[in-house]
Each structure stands twice: as C-alpha cells, then as structure tokens.
Amino acid sequence: MPPDRAVLEELATANRILFQQGVVDGFGHVSMRHPDHPDHFLLARSMAPAMVTADDIMQFDPDSEPTDSDPRRPYLERFIHGEIYRIRPDVAAVVHSHSPSVVPFGIVPTVTLRPVFHMSGFLGQGAPVFEIRCCAGDSSDMLIRDRTLGAALAVSLGEHATVLMRGHGSTVVGQTLRQAVFRAVYTEVNARLQGDALRLGEPTYLSPGEAAASTQTNNGQLNRSWDMWAAQAASSPSSSIVKE
C-alpha cells in the first residue's frame, strides 16, 4: 500500500535538496522507511536525484526487491538501504552519496573523519570505514550490488550515523528523513573543514561530551535548515526541469 502523497513529496524534496547542497550529483540516492509498513522502504527509480518527483518513488520489500511487480528499473545499490533497515530499527532514512570532500577520508587510513565543529557532532569520535575488499576481493566494481555486501556495510556502520566507503563515498542514516539529510549535508561540510584544518596543523576535535550535547541541540533545529534548503531546491533550475 503506498503512503500518503505528502510522504512521497517530501522524499522527492530530499533528493533535490541533496543535489542542491552538493551532496549528490547524477548519482547517489536517499530512502526512507515506509511509515505504515516498517519492513518496507521507499526509494526512487534509478535516475538522477535532481530529477526525482513523487511519481518516481518505488516501494521495496525486506530483501530490497520492488513490490507489486513494479517494472521500473531500481538502483543497483538499493541493498545499502535494505540491509541497514534490517539491522537498525532506529533508522528511518538512509542517504548514500559520493560527496567529494568525504572521499579522501575513506582512502587515507591514517586520518579519521571526526567532528571539527558543532554542526557535525553526530560524527561522534569518528566515522568507520567500510573496506569492500574484505568480502568482495580486489576486483569488484566497488558497488554494493547484493544483500551480502549490503549486510557487510551495515555491520561496518554499526551504531554510527555515518560510514565511509573506501574509494566510493559514504552512507549516512537518521531517525527521520530530515535528520538524515541534515547529517549528509554536514558530513560533507565537516570533511571540507577538516581537510582545510589539516593543511594548517592538527585540529582540535569535539570532545565526546561536546559532540553529544551539540547533536542533541541540533536535533531540535532540523526544520530550520530543511525549510531553507527546500525553498532553495524549489527555486533551482533543476526544479523547473522536474516540473516540466
């Protein structure tokens, strides 16, 4: 059973926000757990995020397969979403991206992505890195294209909000769609700031207490960012293309 139209519209808006904020480009995707059937999730058909509308949203079963014999082409990496939802009942939304400032932190093993300012306290004491070679060997295309790889990624994520994917990108989760989008945006921002700081010297990172307290505060302010980003996305050139 499809969710309310408003739910589909918000997920479509999330796609366009992530494009507008430079987290995704022609690739990447965002999903949400079905609000009425928590073992199912909602994700657009395989297409560029900036072009997604409510009518492009598909529904997937617990094995990440389309429901109701939907013939549209799904994303190859939908298993990222399905396997995280399977083991993380607290997660209501998942963002996968290749945002450029984040990628270096997944390929330099001596540096950990850690929160350098209060907007990224959700990174805690550092984002883990998923190494696909551990379960796919050294000749894969780096994509999470089946349940086995999705499950391995979910294990690497653990209880964290963000997991980096070596040579690929990152995956971010949230307890709501708006929180996941917020975290995806500020994972990219933090990576950019941390990279800048490392060129100057050794950064002072948030303490565990500072990270926890700032996360709690930011969780109460999510709509402030969402409303601004949604307005920007609605007025962007890509929005005009979508409406046509």
Positions marked active-site:
77
Give the other-Cβ count within 10 Å of 22's Cβ.
15
Name the helix (H) or strand (E) containing 20.
helix 5-20
Whole-Å CA distances, 116 to 13, 45, 181, 214, 219: 28, 36, 19, 12, 18
Cα-only R_g, the chain: 17
In the numeric block, which tokens belong to residue 195? 């990279």
In terms of residues, how long is the chain?
Answer: 244
Burial 168-202 (b: 16+ CB within 10 A, else e): bbbbbbbebbbbbbbbbbbbbbbbbbbbeeeeeee
